[in-house]
Structure 1
Amino acid sequence: MTKKFLFTLSLLSLTFISWAQILKPVSWSFSTEAINDKEAYVVATAKIDKGWHVYSLNIEEGGPIATSLTLSPSKSYALVGKATEAPEAEKAFDPNFNMNIAWHEDRAVFKQKVKLNTQEVTINGVLEFMVCNDKQCLPPEEITFKVTASLAGKAIANTLATPTTTPATDSISTAISAITDSAVIDTTSQQVLVNAIDIEPLAQEEQSLWAIFLAGFIGGFLALIMPCIFPMLPLTVSFFTKKAGSRAKAVTQAGLYGLFIIVIYVVLGLLVTIIFGSDALNEMASNGIFNFVFFLMLVIFAISFFGAFELTLPSSWVNKVDEKSDKGGLAGLFFMAFALALVSFSCTGPIIGTLLVQAASMGELMGPAIGMFGFSLALAIPFTLFAAFPSLLKSLPKSGGWLNSVKVVLGFIELALAFKFLSNVDLAYHWDILDREVFLVLWIVIFALLGLYLLGKIKFSHDSDLPFVSVPRLFLSIIVFSFTLYMVPGLWGAPLKAISAWLPPQTTQDFDLYTNSLSSPSEKSNVAKKYAGLFEAPHHLDAFFDYEEGMAYAKSVNKPVLIDFTGHSCVNCRKMEASVWSDPEVLNILKKDYVLISLYVDDKTALPEAEQYTSTFSGKKVKTLGNKWSDFQASKFKVNSQPYYVIVNDKEELLTKPEAFNLDISNYIRFLNEGKSNYQNKN
């Protein structure tokens, strides 16, 4: 315990005295773990600072850099299968990449199984990873490491590898060496030491589970006001109050009835995970075929909600359960709750199905059960509450045509959501059918029809006559029509930032007046630029992509330089370009007063052999264009996050304090004007 405390204290001390601006949100340790007398794991363990995440081993093309664990070829061992990761990566849809992206928070363990051919083996490897938070991404980083595996029957742990990226990590690795060298530590103690640094107990992702619970609770409330359930509320409460004979007994029975509702739906959620497994459902949720099937399911559910047919379970099931509910006692109450679940399936089925899939796709083992708990709790509370206070039943609105209207409104929403799943398939398989305009046309038509329905201009088979428009209907129709009109400019390229997460990417837009109106391609200069075939600046800006070339041009035209440290996978770089650089005043300053140099720190273009070098700052081999600009940013400006904007003159002198991610347009204009003014004063 003392060793753990002293070691942790020394690490904290070294962290505080390290260079503050170089961000190091992830610490890695490398070790081996014996499996049997022939095989072992090479283990890379990441401890991740709060708010940051490291990406999974499996990232589709077009997303951020995936984590990779690569071992050097050797005759002393052979790889067995592919690298694995634990715990299961959390997966969510990222509208900036328009894809599902998996990542790890807090802690991640990556393993590669190897078969050993000798008694003791030294294994060299390279780990590549990328780390981001909700505001910035750091450039991809490679860490070389060396571990030793043995056939002696127990794991041989290793001290932390030295990813010589910053003085801080150098200091930490030196401290570790000093500690391990100053004491006699056997392999078992050494493993304990590694565990003390990097391994913490696994914890549930509380935010994800709370989000699933909340979604389930809202779904349960929506189900409660559906025509299959709402009319049963006063009938069921009246049954309890009359049959029980006393208020206390009625409340007890209603409470047990609500408890059984919760048990039934939670067990359903657990069965989904047990039968399919969280991993399988998670993979299904990002699978193109599954998305297409789910699209068809939602369309069928929508048609059912519109009244074309009823989705019901076999009547024999309902009858058998209903018979058993007459027995009385706890068994009778349980089967009453079960009968509610079966009878209301036509209304609750679409909501439950959507909830289960979304809960499972978030990668939480208990997600489906937690979602069903929220759903059933919203159903169970009213029965207990009204049984305890029967007078509250008088405040409930009477059953009527409005219940069917709720069902139809949900049908329109389900139909709109269905096209989101079809869009996922269209993008994954490059069908190029459901591009941005087509998607928007469908949504505009669907929500316009919903608005007309709310005003009584459209009537379905099960709808009652609507002699007048009520105030709630009027306000809902105003909201729906406003949303419909909001989407119309998107047909000509308007960004529609409020719903961009649901839309296909802007690049699928065939007719985009918005982007072309910001800056005309004809405004570009005729200067030949290095790497111009690889990169294109946003808004048709005239940018250089090589530092030396851009600086030389700035000197010839006597202008200050704006260095834009950016990246392909930098989400906030795109946000700055879309929200700040698109401002007319900002664009005008960038075009007229600055030479723009955009340096992509994550680009994988290989440098010519003659241009490759070993960094004097980090000690790493610089092999790619991204390595070069990442090393340049870290060594020159002691910062490794993007976006990062630096204003200099042709003598490489800073003209004002650099800026990072900040969506305040007035602040960015001040930043540009201050740099321009200081340039003029220096000249």
Structure 2
Amino acid sequence: MAVRLGYENVYRYAEGLQDWKEMGLPTESGQISLAQPSGIGAPGSALFQSGLLLTLVGVFFGGLALNLTPCVYPLIPITVSYFGARGTDKAGLLAVHSLFFLLGLAVTNSTLGVVAALTGGLLGSVLQHPAVLIAIATILVGLALSFFGLWELRLPGFLTQAASRSYGGYGGSLFMGLTLGVVAAPCIGPFLIGLLTYVASTGNPYLGFMLFFTLSLGLGIPLATLAFFSGKLDRLPRSGEWMIWVRKLLGWVLVAMAAYFIKPLFSSHLAGIILLSAVILAAGVHLGFIDRTTGTFRVFGWLKKGIGIALILFATYQIISIVSIGAGVAWQPYSEQLLKKATSVEKPVIIDFYADWCAPCRELEQITFHDPEIVNLAKNDFVMIKVDLTRKGDSINEHLLRQYDVRGVPTVVFLDKEGKELSQLRVLSYVSPSDFLNRMATIPGAGS
């Protein structure tokens, strides 16, 4: 599924279609063939282009990892025993009980995701303010400290008691799934809150549903599957310190989410990527080498070091890749005063409409806007402005979309010295450095 936002070869993933419609902008949607390219930088599908599939896979594995925390892992024998006590040896009936359990878990988490998205969407431009982003990042780091063992999230006793009650029949299996999150809240609560915060910032209920439904599958499928193999439970690793290491791993996930939230505070998009890479590097060093947690099975030590080394190598590769491309164009945030100043000093203006989820935008940023000739010409002869459309709700951005008739991203607008657009130069997809440089050179006064 691809969505064309007004211009040829300008794609945004289908998940963002509702956002664009709410801004009153024209859209077209339709099926595309995976055998044909769907635009520069896309591997054949808008879903893959946006990274949504990778995000869902990551959330699913996050759900799997939650099963290995100290609060959930001991529940595995209890859950399996519960299914075994249903008094049936028929695999079909046992499967129905498992499905009701998964349904209960999915209903709880998916509802939380949708509500968080709808509530977060009401915040609108509030989520654009630096103070709010810093506050969110601080909360996420605080939740991460819970996973690191510095404090523990506790629920009121009456909630835990209510969730621990036993009910019979399929309704009992459903109720067990509904309340699993309450019983395991001390371990999974910080991770859920962190994910809820991210979903709230997007204001997208569809994304909220997909992420939390996927999380439920990751958390619930192992429990439901083990119900069919209750005789194999003695082969599971014993509870021990290794589960503390899993909690620390999830803690670093929350720290990475905090870094993601403060990324917009950096003037350079690449600086934000370096920050994320630094967090991953620190996580690899801590989890693989500094942490002294021991396991009850031999493979744990090798597994711990292997994951640490993998994180270090990935982060190092990212940092080296970014540093090697050198300095990029120095962008400034949009303001009316900046445009007036450009007109007064008779400098042409380039406005880049950008979003993090846009693959061609990232390609422009990392290749074209880091070309030395473009960087030099932009510094001396142009006023460079970037409009970040990653998050919706900013009234100024919505005004600019209409003012410049922006129907998709990337869109790069060229204004002459008098502030009038040179529409024939407008960029609507990825262009090479030489192509972009030629457009800059055609503007009167540039490069003189």
Tell me which of 417, 435, 439 is aligned to 1:625: 417
Please tell me whether the aligned partners of residues 567 and 573 of structure 1 are also in contact (alpha carbons under 8 angstroms): no
Higher deviation after alignment, 405-414 or 474-483: 474-483
2:63 to 203, 212, 220: 220
SS at match of 2:10: coil
Matches within 5 A, 1:6-45: none
Aligned partner letter, 1:227: P
Distance apart, 1:349 and its partner CA: 1.9
Deviation at 1:629, TM superposition (A): 8.2
- What CA distance in whole angstroms lies between the structure 2 residues aligned with 1:424 and 1:449? 22
Which residue does the alignment assign to 2:20?
89
What is aligned with 2:115?
Answer: 271
Tell me the distance in 2 between the aligned counterparts of 1:400 and 1:256. 30
- Whether contact under 8 Å (2:287, 2:304) holds in the other structure is no
Matched, 1:494 2:313: no
Preserved contact between residue 285 and residue 357 of structure 1 (Cα < 8 Å):
no
2:401 corresponding residue in structure 1: none
Cα 1:363–1:385 change in 2 (3 A) is: same
For residue 253 of structure 1, what is the aligned residue in structure 2?
A: 97
Q: Report the equivalent of 1:310.
A: 152
Preserved CA contact (<8 Å) 2:137 2:261: yes
Structure 2 residue aligned with 1:106? 27
Q: Deviations over 1:632-670 (max 9, x none)?
A: 769xxxx9978477xxxxxxxxxxxxx6479xxxxxxxx
The answer on whether the counterparts of 1:225 and 1:406 sit within 8 Å (CA) in structure 2 is: yes
Q: Is the 8 A contact 1:209 1:364 kept in 2?
A: no
CA distance in structure 1 between the partners assigned to 2:283 and 2:107 by the alignment: 39
Q: Alpha-carbon deviations, 1:163-210, whole Å to 9, x = none? A: xxxxxxxxxxxxxxxxxxxxxxxxxxxxxxxxxxxxxxxxx9997876
Distance 1:347 1:408, change over 3 A: same
Which is helix-richer, 1 or 2? 2
Q: 1:447 maps to which residue?
A: 281
For residues 459 and 226 of structure 1, the distance between their equivalents in structure 2, rounded to whole angstroms, comes to 17
What does 1:610-649 correspond to in 2, within 5 Å? Answer: 624-625=416-417, 630=422, 643=431
Match of 1:336 in 2: 176
Secondary structure of the structure 2 residue equivalent to 1:569: strand
Compared CA separation, residues 321 and 575, structure 1 to 2 (3 A): closer
Report the CA distance between 1:304 and its aligned residue: 0.7
Cα separation, partners in 2 of 1:311 and 1:256, compared to 1, 3 Å: same
Cα deviation code 1:105-159 (max 9, x no counterpart): 7259xxxxxxxxxxxxxxxxxxxxxxxx767xxxxxxxxxxxxxxxxxxxxxxxx
The structure-2 alpha-carbon separation of the partners of 1:284 and 1:228, relative to structure 1 and needing over 3 Å to count, comes to farther
Which AA in structure 2 matches 1:349? G
Q: How does 1:463-478 map to 2 (within 5 A)?
A: 470-478=301-309
Counterpart-to-counterpart distance in 1, 2:122 and 2:48? 19
| Amino acid across the alignment from 1:291 | L
SS at match of 1:310: coil
Distance 1:260 1:483 in 2: 37
> Aligned in 2, Cα 1:640/1:226: closer, same or farther, shift over 3 Å?
closer
Letter of the structure 1 residue corresponding to residue 281 of structure 2: F
Deviation of residue 309 (structure 1)? Answer: 1.7
Q: Check the 8 A contact 1:633/1:640 in 2, yes or no.
A: no
Q: Specify the code of the residue in structure 2 equivalent to 1:304.
A: S
- The one of 68, 74, 86 equivalent to 1:231 is 74
2:252 counterpart residue number: 412
8 Å Cα contact 1:273/1:365 also seen in 2: yes
- How far 1:407 moved relative to its partner? 0.8
Q: 1:633 to 1:291 in 2, by over 3 A?
A: closer
- CA shift, 1:287, in A, is 3.7
Match of 1:353 in 2: 193
Aligned equivalents of 2:6 and 2:329: distance in 1? 36
| 1:296 maps to amino acid | T
Give the distance between the partners of 1:239 and 1:210, measured in 2 at CA.
34
Change over 3 Å in CA distance of 1:205–1:283 after alignment to 2: farther
Match of 1:51 in 2: 10
Cα separation, partners in 2 of 1:90 and 1:350, compared to 1, 3 Å: farther
Shift of 1:251: 3.2
CA 1:661/1:105 → structure 2, altered by over 3 Å: closer, same or farther? farther
Distance 1:641 1:270 in 2: 32
1:307–1:344 distance in 2 versus 1, CA, 3 Å: same
- Please say if residues 140 and 255 of structure 2, whose CA atoms lie closer than 8 Å, have aligned partners that are also in contact: yes
Q: How does the TM-score come out when normalised to structure 2?
A: 0.62
* Alpha-carbon contact 1:269-1:369 (below 8 Å) kept: yes
Tell me the SS of whatever aligns to 1:255. helix
Kindly provide the CA deviation profile for residues 483-509 of structure 1, in whole angstroms up to 9, marking residues without a partner as x. Answer: 56557769xx92579xx9xxxx8859x
Alpha-carbon distance change, 481 to 216 in structure 1, aligned in 2, over 3 angstroms: closer
Deviation string, structure 1 residues 250-270 (Cα, Å, up to 9, x no partner): 333233222211222223234
2:310 maps to 1:479: yes
Q: 1:47 to 1:365 in 2, by over 3 A?
A: same
Q: Distance in 1 between matches of 2:247 and 2:111?
A: 26
TM-score (norm 1): 0.43
**8 Å contact 1:261–1:380 — kept in the other structure?**
yes
Q: After TM superposition, give the deviation of residue 405 of structure 1 in Å.
A: 0.6
Q: Is the 8 A contact 1:52 1:105 kept in 2?
A: no
After superposition, where does 1:470-619 map in structure 2 within 5 Å?
Answer: 470-483=301-314, 485-486=316-317, 494-495=323-324, 567-569=350-352, 574-577=365-368, 581-582=371-372
Q: 1:318 Cα deviation (Å)? A: 0.6
Task: Establish whether residue 296 from structure 1 lines up as the match of residue 138 from structure 2.
Answer: yes
1:391, distance to aligned residue in structure 2 (A): 5.2
Note the residue ranges of structure 1 that are not aligned, 5 or more in a row. Answer: 1-24, 27-45, 54-85, 92-101, 109-132, 136-203, 429-434, 509-530, 536-544, 546-565, 604-621, 646-658, 663-683
Alignment-derived partner of residue 369 in structure 1: 209
Indicate the SS of the match to 1:312. Answer: coil
> For 1:207-239, what per-residue CA distance to the aligned partner results, in whole angstroms no more than 9, with x for missing partners?
787676545433322322322222322331133
Q: CA deviation at 1:340?
A: 1.6
Deviation at 1:458, TM superposition (A): 3.6
After TM superposition, list the pairs within 5 Å mapping 1:158-237 onto structure 2: 213-214=56-57, 216-237=59-80
Is residue 218–residue 378 contact of structure 1 (8 Å, CA) maintained in 2?
Answer: yes
Per-residue deviation, 1:417: 3.6
Counterpart residue type for residue 470 of structure 1: G
Q: 2:251 is paired with a residue of what secondary structure?
A: helix
Percent of matched pairs sharing the same residue: 21
Structure 2 counterpart of 1:482, which letter?
L
The answer (yes or no) to whether the contact 2:278–2:315 under 8 Å persists in 1 is: yes
| Whole-Å separation in 1 of the counterparts to 2:278 and 2:123 | 32
Once the two structures are superposed, what CA deviation does each residue of 1:17-38 show, in whole Å capped at 9, x if it has no partner? xxxxxxxx99xxxxxxxxxxxx
**Would you say how many aligned residue pairs link Structure 1 and Structure 2?**
369
Task: Using the TM superposition, name which of 240-249 and 292-301 deviates more.
Answer: 240-249
- Equivalence for 2:337: none
Pairwise CA distance, 1:245: 4.0
Q: Kindly tell me: are residues 309 and 623 of structure 1, through their superposed partners in 2, closer, same or farther at Cα, counting changes over 3 Å? A: closer
Residue type of the alignment partner of 1:471: W
CA RMSD of the aligned region, Å?
A: 5.3
Runs of 5+ unmatched residues, structure 2: 30-38, 42-46, 332-342, 354-360, 386-413, 438-448
Partners in 1 of 2:312 and 2:428 — Cα distance? 46
Distance 1:321 1:485, change over 3 A: closer
AA aligned opposite 2:192: I
* 1:282, distance to aligned residue in structure 2 (A): 5.1
Note closer, same or farther for the CA distance 1:599–1:447 as it changes in structure 2 (3 Å cut).
closer
Separation of aligned partners in 2, 1:623 and 1:267: 46
Per residue, is there more strand in 1 or in 2?
Answer: 1
Q: Which of 146, 163, 166 is matched with 1:326 structurally?
A: 166
